[in-house]
Amino acid sequence: MAGTAAPSQWHLLRDISVSYAHCFMFVSPAIREPLCTVLLLALELEKALVSEEVMIRLIRIQWWDDAISAGTSHHAHPLIRQIITLKEQGILTAESLDGLCESWRSAAEDRDCLAAAWQTSIACLASIIGASKIGASNMSGSNDEIARKIGAQICQSRTRQPVTALSLDDRHALMRSGAIKSVLSGLSFMAVRSSTENSPHPDDDPLFIFKLCWHLLLRSSA
C-alpha cells in the first residue's frame, strides 16, 4: 500500500488559521510553500513564549535554534526538515534564520520585544521572493520596511491591541512590493479585520475569503 503524502505547508497553516492560509492563495505555488514555512516557524516560536518562566521560554527557543543550526534533513520534526531543505536550496539563509531566532530569543527574555520578533519574521518571509528569483524584477528596496510594519500589525492583532493602520506612503510602498504584494496586503487586511469591533474574527467569518479577494482587487486597481 502506498504511503500517504505529507500535507503541504499551506495545508498545515490552514489547520491553524484558515484566514492566514487564504492570504497565501494568490502567489505562485513555487513560493507559497516557503512563505508558509516561515510563518509556521514564527507561530511555533510564538507558542514557545507561553510560559511565565523566562528560562523555560529561552530553552524552547534554543531548541528550535539548535535544530535549525544542526542542519540535518532527517530531523523528526517535519517543519525542521522543511526549513533545512529550504536552506539547502538557498531560499532561506543561515543569516536570516539566525536573525529570526535571535529576535524571538529577545522576546523570550522580554515580552516587550514581541513586536520586533514579528517584524523580523515577516521581513524574513518577504525576503524569500528575492532569494527564489521569482518576481525579483518587481522588488522594491522598501519591501523590508513595509514588511516590518505589517509584522507590527500582526503582533498587535495577536495580542488583542488596536491595529495601527498603514499610512498612505506605506500603502504606496505595498503597491510597489512586487510578487509579495498579495501576501503582505492580505496579512495586513487580516490583522486589521481581527481588531474590528462587532465583526467576527476572520477565522470565524465564512465570508472572509470574499472580503479578502475584494480588498486585493481594489488594491491592484488603485
Lookup result for grid cell 543550526? 69
All three cell numbers of 72, joined, read 540535518
Domain count across the chain: 1
pLDDT computed for residue 135 by the predictor: 41
List pLDDT tens digits, range 150-198. 999 999 999 999 999 999 999 988 988 888 999 999 999 999 998 877 7
CB 41 within 8 A of CB 87: no
Residue 13 domain-assigned (yes or no)? no
CB 120 within 8 A of CB 103: yes
Residue 10 domain-assigned (yes or no)? no
Residue 57 domain-assigned (yes or no)? yes
Q: For all residues of the chain together, what is the average pLDDT? A: 89
Q: Is the pLDDT of residue 1 over 50?
A: no
Q: Cα 138 to chain center, whole Å? A: 20
SS3 56: helix
Residue 12 domain-assigned (yes or no)? no
The residue range of the domain holding 117 is 18-221
Residue 70 domain-assigned (yes or no)? yes
CB 222 within 8 A of CB 175: yes
List pLDDT tens digits, range 83-122. 999 999 999 999 999 999 999 999 999 999 999 999 999 9
Residue 31 domain-assigned (yes or no)? yes
Residue 115 domain-assigned (yes or no)? yes
pLDDT computed for residue 139 by the predictor: 41
Q: How confident is the model at residue 21 (pLDDT cuts 50, 70, 90)?
A: very high
Residue 97 domain-assigned (yes or no)? yes
- Among left, alpha and beta (phi > 0; psi -120 to 50; other), residue 71 is left
Residue 1's Cβ-count burial label (10 Å; 0-12, 13-18, 19+) is exposed
pLDDT computed for residue 6 by the predictor: 75
pLDDT computed for residue 130 by the predictor: 57
pLDDT computed for residue 129 by the predictor: 77
List pLDDT tens digits, range 136-163. 434 444 589 999 999 999 999 999 999 9
pLDDT computed for residue 199 by the predictor: 75
Q: How far apart are CA 157 and CA 89, in angstroms?
A: 33
